[in-house]
Structure 1
């Protein structure tokens, strides 16, 4: 059984996808950019984009009735891996040990000219 999650506390989908979808005890979050949900604008600085990315992920997870403590896997897409240390600094404000598994991948480009995007998998089982 699939159930979709939608919240206005995170940016609206800018394509043919859902913010998140439940499949059984697992919640799959679509990639979040650093867009401000109210204005759909992107900050110019990487750190501000990264902060907004994780705030957006948190909003979607909470709209699903879960918390970031239940995230088991993150995938972070960066247009420049030299920003990796900043990702770690920002993540430390949103997650505590034990941290979720994570991959970080450098990509040529992201929608809207973003510098960072992250997606997550949340497990809600016992």
Structure 2
């Protein structure tokens, strides 16, 4: 699981959906399958065994939605888990960000310019 440092909530696939392009959000950590992320040797964050955390549409701009999609090896599905707690997308260099620095359940996750804020820091658990 990836837990947001500011929110203390986990990276979650909305509604436990397994469909391509399902959005991600933060939600109370509950060890559900939709919160069980594994970093593989290809730098992919995998959920449900075959879906990858993905920059929607291969987007590289701030505000790009972060979704799940069939793992395909693209750079938009590769992530660096950095020593400062940030998670950056290999293709864009942007940070995995909780929108608006909000902390409520259901807040969307997006790509954003790295600011060092707590809404961009994640802890593995």
Q: Report TM bin, short chain.
A: under 0.3
The two structures have a TM-score, normalised by structure 2, of 0.27
Higher helix proportion (structure 1 or 2): 1
Computing the radius of gyration from Cα coordinates, the structure with the larger value is: 1
The two structures have a TM-score, normalised by structure 1, of 0.27
Higher strand proportion (structure 1 or 2): 2
